[in-house]
Structure 1
Amino acid sequence: MDYIVQTMIDYIGSQGYFAILVGTGLASMGVPVPSELTLAFAGYLVFAERLQFGWVIPAALLGEVLGSLIAYLIGYFGEGAFVHKYGKYMFLSPRKLEYAQAWFERYGMITVLVGRILPVVRGMIALPAGLLQVNLKKFMIYIVLSSTIWCIGLVSLGRLLGENWRKLYEMGHAAGLVAVFGLLLFLTVGFWVRKKQA
Structure 2
Amino acid sequence: MFAELLDTFTQLINQHPTWAGLIVFLVAMVESLAIIGVVIPGVAIMFGVGTLISNGTLDMASTVMWAAAGASFGDGLSFALGKHYDKKIYTIAWFKNNPDVLKNGHEFFEKYGAISILIGRFIGPIRAIIPLIAGILDMPTKHYIPTNLIASALWAPAYLIPGFFFGKSTTLITTNLENGWPFILLFAVLIWAFYKILKQR
Q: Compute the TM-score of the two structures, normalised by the length of structure 2.
A: 0.70
Which of the two has higher C-alpha Rg? 2
**Pair 1:75-2:72 in alignment:** no
Kindly state the Cα deviation for residue 12 of structure 1 after the two structures are TM-superposed. 5.3
CA contact (8 A) 2:10 2:52 kept: no
Structure 1 segments, 4+ long, off by >4 Å, are none
In structure 2, the CA distance between the partners of 1:158 and 1:71, relative to structure 1 (3 Å rule), is same
For the pair 1:17 / 2:42, whether they are aligned, the reply is no
1:22-33 equivalence runs, <5 A: 22-30=26-34, 31=36, 32-33=39-40
Correspondence for 1:153 among 149, 158, 169: 158
Q: Secondary structure at the match of 1:133?
A: coil
User: Aligned residue for 1:192?
Assistant: none
Q: Deviations over 1:67-91 (max 9, x none)?
A: 0110011111112323422535xx9
Q: Is the 8 A contact 2:104 2:126 kept in 1?
A: no
Partner deviation per Cα, 1:19-61 (whole Å, 9 max, x = no partner): 2211211121131222212221111111110110111011101
Report whether the alignment pairs 1:44 with 2:51.
yes
Question: Aligned residue pairs: how many?
Answer: 161
1:96 is aligned to 2:101: yes
Does the 8 Å CA contact 2:122/2:155 hold for their aligned counterparts?
yes
Structure 2 residue runs without a partner (length 5+): 14-19, 171-201
Residues in 2 aligned to 1:164 and 1:61: alpha-carbon distance in whole angstroms: 25
Q: Please give the secondary structure, in 1, of the residue aligned with 2:124.
A: coil
- Percent same amino acid at aligned positions? 19
1: distance between equivalents of 2:93 and 2:24?
24
1:1-198 correspondence runs (5 A):
2=1, 6-7=4-5, 9-11=7-9, 13-15=11-13, 16-30=20-34, 31=36, 32-88=39-95, 93-162=98-167
Q: Is the 8 A contact 2:22 2:66 kept in 1?
A: yes
- Could you say if the C-alpha distance between residues 55 and 138 of structure 1 is closer, same or farther in structure 2, counting changes exceeding 3 Å? same
Gaps in structure 1 of 5+ consecutive residues: 166-198
Cα distance in 2 between the residues matched to 1:92 and 1:75: 19
- What is the identity, as a one-letter code, of the residue corresponding to 2:22? F
